[in-house]
Structure 1
Amino acid sequence: MIKELHVELFRFDSKVDYLPYYKKYTIEYKQRDTILSILNKINNIEKFSFEPTVDFNLKINNLYMNANEFIVNIVDATSNEFIIEPISIYRATRDLIIDKKDFLEKIVSFKEYVTPMDMDEYAKNYELDYYASNTYDINRDYIGDHSLLIASDIIEQNPELKQDILSKISNADNGIWYHTSLENRVFNYDISKEHRIKTLLSMLPKVTYSGISASVNTKTHSADISQYFNGFNIASFDGLNKNSASAMIKESKANYVDISLKYEDLAPYSTLVSKDFSLKIAGNILIQAKDENADFIIVRGKSDVMLFDGEQKRIEKAVGREINLPVISQEQFVKLLQGEKDSSLLGFDKHKVKVSFL
């Protein structure tokens, strides 16, 4: 069965263009067509720069993947409207081609521990792990998840090098502390990689923990609704475990503001070495919700409220922008839906950013 795909393709030439732009195409595809086949079809219509191989990496609808993925799987996960971009807009040189110098240099930094053949394999297999990281978008000096996976391999194969390698990857400015999970950013992510990185973290000395939650195992609530939110725009931060409040928001008759950063990792270990890295991640989430005209954002629980609301002034300073966006928990939203209007019973009297819609 032939179906249609609507594509916006990133175009940019660093030698000519000041800013990137996007060109639109409507492409037909079949059940077994891959991303590479679509790239080739567009290239037949109008030439652009990419690598015509199944190992070529790119970003579609904010998901990182290689060109060997089936189109139908990406459509099922997102939609039939594709925004196709390079894996790093920041490093783009021509269309979907990027300058990989930074990625390769960090592999070479392990040259005394691995063979040239190993380095070639790492360059081939770990590119997505480097560029897909949200950490990379915030801290360009980050050692990279690919470096952490290389470190894991070295320690496994040569346990006597453990302390040397741990010292190499635990720098306070760019080390493992800044790792953020890729499980919601890379399509069909191999979660065993995340387990390997967590194993590395477990090898490092324990320090006082911040209390910021990477994931929260809470059930999304349901409520008997007696108070609706017609006319409101409401965003949600769902975290790694995708504890989504979207269904509740839609049931409340509000407009659900779907932000692309809703499943991000808040980098809790970064607080051991940095005062503001997690604040920058939270700031980007709040700014995206604000820019999408959200009236407020729903977060998972108390620890999220403590960060997104309690630290919002520090967040504003970290990202260099005023935000002033009310933050409430899923539990508080359920109580609102059930008709509760007492600010103190809801806990809103303790919030730093006034919840003004009551």
Structure 2
Amino acid sequence: MLHKLDIKAFFFNAKTDYLPYYKQFTFTLESEASVQELLARIQEANENFAYPQSNLVLKINSWVVEGTQTIGSLVQRLGTSWQIDPVSSYRANHGLCINDADFMQSFALLAPYAREEDAAFYKTLYALHYASRTELFVREYIGDAVLVLAHKMITEGSEHKESILKAITSAESGLLDCEYENGLFEAQDHSKAIAELKAMVTEDDTPSLCTKLMQRFCKEKTPPKRVAQTIKNLSEKQVAHYFAHASHDAMHARITEKGMKGIHFASANKLCGLGILKDNKVLAFKKAGAILLDAFDCGAEVLIVEDLDALEMFQKHFSAIEKTVGREMIGLELIWAEDFIAQISKS
């Protein structure tokens, strides 16, 4: 089957360009053709376009894609309008080619404890390293790949467990900054491995006997009963839905059924920093701010938040989030999904 693709391709040459730019192309390719074949076609059309000849990994519509991926599989999920970017725009030096020295620099943290097979395994995680969402907020982040390797080494019985854990937590931005999200087109879920690593690091933080006794005999204050929230003139406002890893379908149907103006924004399915709030507030606020700003800039007047804990984080730290991202979001109202449903059900 043939697919007509509308391509917006990234161009940049560190030797001649001050800023990157994009050029538009249209190509027709077979479903079975690979991304690498598409890139070759772009280069034929414009000799200034460049892409790696090895470790071919790039971003298409923000998803990390390998060069062997077929056109048909991408069209099925992404449609036929694509924006092609380097896997790390920050590290780009010529087109899609990047300075990837950081990949092996991260491995160097574990190299003293690694076997040959560990090094070989790590090299298979090249795409995963650059799919790390945390790196978008902290450039010094060591990457998800080295954390996956650390977990593998420890669970396979490495005698260097403590040294490995120290290496991945003492880095400028390491394990405790990781809130794992899949950024790969061919999805991988390493959240269990990351959670287990964090549990290993914090296992010494268990309460002492004295603390446990105090917790047992000291009465805890009963939290106040939550009062359902309502929003004035809700039916007249533009609403967006932040659902993270939940589903958007049911909420989309309700918004449509009520004839309300629904706003879609790219980061609606991303994590908001709740999982790292305790360990790195600034990073958590950056992640939360990116989501709130995305919804706000897309025109949302009301943001429906699926998860109550995420909503409470947004509300409690709203001013701090604004300060962290350097923007005010005047007029953006937040509401829990269940409160939203209850309110529109009465209208």
CA distance in 2 between partners of 1:45 and 1:235 (Å):
40
Q: Which amino acid aligns with 2:334?
A: V
Q: How do residues 266-277 of structure 1 correspond to structure 2 at under 5 angstroms?
A: 266-277=272-283
196, 200, 210: which is aligned to 2:197?
A: 200
Identity among equivalent pairs (%): 27
Which entry has the higher C-alpha Rg, 1 or 2?
Answer: 2
1:172–1:273: 8 Å Cα contact kept in structure 2?
no
Residue 339 of structure 2, aligned match among 332, 344, 348: 332
Q: Which residue of 2 aligns with 1:51?
A: 52
Partner Cα separation in structure 2 for residue 282 and residue 134 of structure 1: 13
- CA distance in structure 2 between the partners assigned to 1:178 and 1:195 by the alignment: 15
Name the CA shift for 1:254/1:272 in 2 (closer, same or farther; >3 Å): same
CA distance in 2, matches of 1:337, 1:268: 28
Whether contact under 8 Å (1:8, 1:24) holds in the other structure is yes
- Taking the aligned partners of 1:72 and 1:256, their CA distance within structure 2 comes to 30
Residues in 2 aligned to 1:89 and 1:106: alpha-carbon distance in whole angstroms: 19
2:85 alignment partner AA: E
Aligned to 2:178: 179
Q: Secondary structure at the match of 1:205?
A: helix
Match of 2:223 in 1: none
Give the match for residue 72 of structure 1: 72
Secondary structure of 1:333's partner?
helix
Which moved further from structure 2: 133-142 or 248-257? 248-257
* C-alpha displacement of 1:3: 2.2
CA root-mean-square deviation: 2.3
Say if 1:243 and 1:300, in contact at 8 Å, map to a contact too. no
How much has 1:200 moved relative to structure 2? Answer: 1.4
CA distance in 2, matches of 1:2, 1:273: 49
8 Å contact kept, 2:60–2:83: yes
Residues 166 and 204 in structure 1, CA contact (< 8 A), matched pair in contact too: yes
Partner of 1:349: none
* Alignment counterpart, residue 242 of structure 2, candidates 237, 244, 250: 237
Do the aligned partners of 1:279 and 1:315 also contact (CA within 8 Å) in 2? yes
- Distance of 2:324 and 2:17 partners within structure 1: 31
Partners of 2:70 and 2:253 in 1: how far apart? 29
| Partner residue, 1:282 | 288
User: TM-score normalised to the size of structure 2?
Assistant: 0.84
Structure 1 residues 298 and 61: CA distance shift in structure 2, 3 A:
same
1:149-202 deviation per Cα after TM superposition (whole angstroms, max 9, x unaligned) = 12112213343211221122223852211112232x2112222x3322222122
| Residue correspondences, number | 317
User: Equivalences for 1:114-125 in 2 at 5 Å?
Assistant: 114-115=114-115, 118-119=118-119, 121-123=121-123, 125=124
**Structure 2, unaligned runs of 5 or more:** 207-232
Distance (whole Å) between structure 1 residues aligned to residue 170 and residue 270 of structure 2:
23
CA 178–119 in structure 1, closer or farther in 2 if over 3 Å, else same? same
**Post-superposition CA distance 1:314-338 (Å, at most 9, x none):** 1111212112321112112212322
TM-score relative to the length of structure 1: 0.81
